Each structure stands twice: as structure tokens, then as C-alpha cells.
Amino acid sequence: MNLFGTDGIRGVANDDLTPEMAFKLGLALGLYVVPRGKVGVAKDTRTSGDMLEAAVVAGLCASGCRAVTFGVLTTPGLSYLIRELGLDGGVMISASHNPGEFNGLKVFGPTGRKIDDSMEEKISSFILSDGKCAGRPTGNRVGRVIRAEGEVSRYVEFLTGVPHVSFSGLKVMVDCANGATGQVARHVWENLGAHVKTLNSDGDGEMINCRCGSTHPETLAAEVKHESFDVGFAHDGDGDRCIAVNPTGGVEDGDRIIGVMAKDMKERGRLNGNTVVGTVMSNLGLELYLTSLGVRLVRTAVGDRYVLDEMDRGGYSLGGEQSGHIIFRDIAPAGDGIMTSLLLAEVLVRRGTTLEALTAGIPSIPQVLLNVPVTDKRQAMESPALKRELGKARTQFAGRGRVFVRPSGTEPVIRVMVEAPEVETAHEWARRIAEVIRSAETEENVGEKIG
């Protein structure tokens, strides 16, 4: 059994995700993946981060590894420092966009990329075992902890060097989601000459992602419009997402940012293969827009690791997700919310225009997304009633829309996505499909009780 979802191991801290599990993960990583190596450890601002950090570090040291701790840092920041400092791997303690009571463990290899399935399965097997193993070092052969919070400045310097224009006079507002970007974003924008205002940047771990950040950009949108800022950017708790806001308060999601960047990169000869990698959730409007530019959209399963795998296979330079995970593969092997905001702002400045003008030609097919809580995701997906309803929906749309249903890789929900020519139709079909999922689970639960 693989405990890793699409973005690491996740769960409610000290319930689904315990310090014992974190210790075993650190121990397994050191014994079987990077023996006696140097492993970076970082966390976002969640209250449980200290607890899980201590457990991971203890496990690494018990294996004989040296644990290099960076404190609060973004996930892409850890990925960068793994490469920059020549570390053998890394562990990020974060549940990304999830609420504060959740936490997670993401594991990276020496290239700053997430480890592959075989390594995940090996670590999962050890976590699920009794934890007994031969070969653990003893006495003075255990590992040590290297405190390296000061190295975060290297990441700030790296980001400051990404854009090739001055942002002097640009008014930028950034919603840090009470997460890890609050440690970095202001410094980077100020270094580049922008007038920057940050929201939710105090690092209140209990309020991380709570009515703020990339999953709740409404407050940022209102503030950008009210205070007449040029652009706004919303990140998530661990800083790998970016959602943009235009001066009129309009929200531009990851698909629309990708559309802007694809056009700019193509015109400058930097869009490898004239291809963009998206996912099955990418809006049909993005695909239509890219086609009009002579650009192909390749779709993958949901998850930035699958996007990156496809980018590697084709040598493509741009890919990402509607949620705001956007990868510029020629610069870094991971989605980086701050980097995305800098590159988008560079396009604004270089072209002397507004974000609203840049996205005006990108259509958005009405899309409705629903999260349906379930107790058994696999059982819900295998429901005959659900399959019948999906068949009806696909017949109804017949090329004029899309229906996609999938189990979340990070939460106990089934995600329902419907695109249709009219928003009312999309809402109606999403509601119908969600109701079938709920009814099927209720019937199954009743059957179990009777049996």
C-alpha cells in the first residue's frame, strides 16, 4: 500500500498523520534511499510543523543522516536549496492548500524533484511495518542536525534574478495565505523596486489558507480594486501556487496565467515544441485559445508530478494546472508561486499593458467544480449508478462540454468537474452527479449495517 497521494502523505496532524509516522519516514529515507546522506528539512507555518519536524529530524539522525533544517520555507524554496547546496534529498512538512489542522510530508530526491513511485512504496511499507530494522547506527555514528535558516537568503537572491526588468513604480499586492511565502515574497518584490503590500503575511499557522490565499482570492481581489493596485497575487500555504488578480478585481486562475505565458513565450521563441502541458481539469477555453495560437495542449492526470513527467518526456518548457501550480521547466523543476508571479509581472511591464488586457482573448467555458465528501473513494468511483449518470452527461454534451469525476489525491472527497456552454447547465449536471455519489454511498452504508 502506497501512503503517498498526488502530493505526499497527508492527514489531520496527530491523528491520520502522527509523529511516529514522521519518525519512520525519516528513518526509512535515511536507511534505504539516501544512506548517510545530507537531507534538507523545511516546513510551512502550521502549528503541527514543529512536532513533525522534530520527528522527521529524529528519524533521519537515527538512520545516520545529517538533517539540514531551514525552518519556515516554501516547497519550491526547499527544492531549490536541495539543488543549490548539493543535498541528497529533502522533506517538506506541509499540507499545501489544505486547512491548518492538516499537515503533510513531501519527499524530494537530489534533483529537487519528488521521489518516484517505487521509493514511495518502499517508504510506505516501512511506515506500515513495526519499524524494526537491522543496521541502525549506534553511539557516535548517529547523524547530526545542521541549522541552516540563513541559507534561505540564497533562495531570495535566486528569485530576485529571475525577471529581467525593473518593477520600479509597479504596485503589487500579495496574499501570503498566512503561510511560508510571507518569509520571502516582500523581500523579493522590494529588491526589484516594486511598491508591495502583503496580506496575511504574519505566519499565523492556525489560520493558514483560512479564507485567504489562492483558494480564497476574494479579499485580495477587493483590496486590489479598492486601492488601485496594478496587480495582485495569491499564494497557498507552501507557496507552490499562484492565482492573479487584475486591477478591476477580476480573478485570473492558473489556466489563464498559462495562456498569457504561452503566448509570450511562443512569440519570443521560448515555448519548446509549441506545446503546453495541462491536466484533465484544464479549462476547454484554454485549449481553444492555445489552438488559435498554433499551440498544442497535452493533458495529464491531475498533479504537478504528472505534468512535470510529461514535460520531461517531450522536453517542453511550460506546463501547469488550473489551481495555480505552474512549472517553467527551463528555470526550475517545480511549481513556484512567487516565480510565476514575477514572470507574469515581467510580461506586464515589458508589454506596457494590464493583466486584464492580456487575458481578454482567452475564453473561459463555464466550469463548475464540486467536492463531494465520501468515506470510501474507490467504492464511490465504482458505483454503477455513477457510471450510468456520467454516460448520460457525456451523451448530452457530445463535444460541446466535458464531464470529469475523480477521487482527490489529498482529501476524502470525490471531485466533480462539469464544463458546458451555459453555466446553468454546468451547475445542474454537477449537482445531479454529486447527488448520485451521495446516494450511492448512503445505500452502501445501509447495506453494510443490514449485512
Looking at residue 450, its pLDDT comes to: 39
Which pLDDT value is given to residue 131? 83
3-state SS of 299-360 is EECCCHHHHHHHHHHHCCCEEECCCCCEEECCCCCCCCHHHHHHHHHHHHHHHCCCHHHHHC
What are the pLDDT digits (tens) for 263-276?
999 999 999 999 99
- Is 166 found in the same domain as 140? no
Q: Long-range contacts for 12-16 (Cβ within 8 Å, ≥24 apart)?
A: 12/101, 12/102, 13/46, 13/47, 13/48, 13/51, 13/52, 13/101, 13/102, 13/103, 14/48, 14/51
Question: Domain total for the chain?
Answer: 3
Q: Is 173 found in the same domain as 90?
A: no
pLDDT at 132: 83
Residues in the chain: 451
Residues 123 and 35 in one domain: yes
**Res 309: pLDDT:** 95
pLDDT, tens digit (0-9, with 9 covering 90-100), for 365-421: 999 999 999 999 999 999 999 999 999 998 988 778 899 999 988 788 999 999 999
Residue 13 pLDDT greater than 60, yes or no: yes
What residues are annotated to the active site? 96
Answer whether 174's CB lies under 8 Å from 185's CB.
Answer: yes
Mark whether 186 and 248 lie in a shared domain: yes
**298 and 440 part of one domain:** no
Q: Which of 341, 359, 377 is the last residue of a domain?
A: 359
Q: Do 323 and 214 touch, CB atoms closer than 8 A?
A: yes
The CA-to-CA distance between both ends of the chain, in Å, stands at: 27
Neighbour tally for 244: CB within 10 Å: 30
Do residues 110 and 187 both lie within one domain? no
Whether residue 206 is found in the same domain as residue 99: no
**Both 282 and 408 in a single domain?**
no
Asked which of 135, 152, 169 is the last residue of a domain, the reply is 152
- Domain containing 225 equals 161-359
CATH number reported for the structural domain that contains residue 315 in this entry: 3.40.120.10
In whole angstroms, what is the distance from residue 60 CA to residue 73 CA?
A: 19
The CATH number assigned to the domain holding 381 equals: 3.30.310.50
105-157 per-position pLDDT tens digit: 999 999 999 999 999 999 999 999 988 887 899 999 999 999 999 999 999 99
Same domain, 277 and 305: yes
pLDDT in tens, 201-253: 988 899 999 999 999 999 999 999 999 999 999 999 999 999 999 999 999 99
Q: Are residues 199 and 106 in the same domain?
A: no
Q: Are residues 226 and 314 in the same domain?
A: yes
Q: pLDDT tens across 165-194, in order?
A: 999 999 999 999 999 999 899 999 999 999
pLDDT tens-digit readout, 46-102: 999 999 999 999 999 999 999 999 999 999 999 999 999 999 999 999 999 999 999
pTM for this prediction = 0.91
Domain final position from 152, 179, 207: 152
Residues 311 and 383 in one domain: no
For the stretch 318-353, pLDDT in tens is: 999 999 999 999 999 999 999 999 999 999 999 999
Q: State the pLDDT at residue 445.
A: 52
The pLDDT of residue 443 is above 80: no
Whole-number average pLDDT of the chain:
95
| Residue 187 covered by a domain | yes
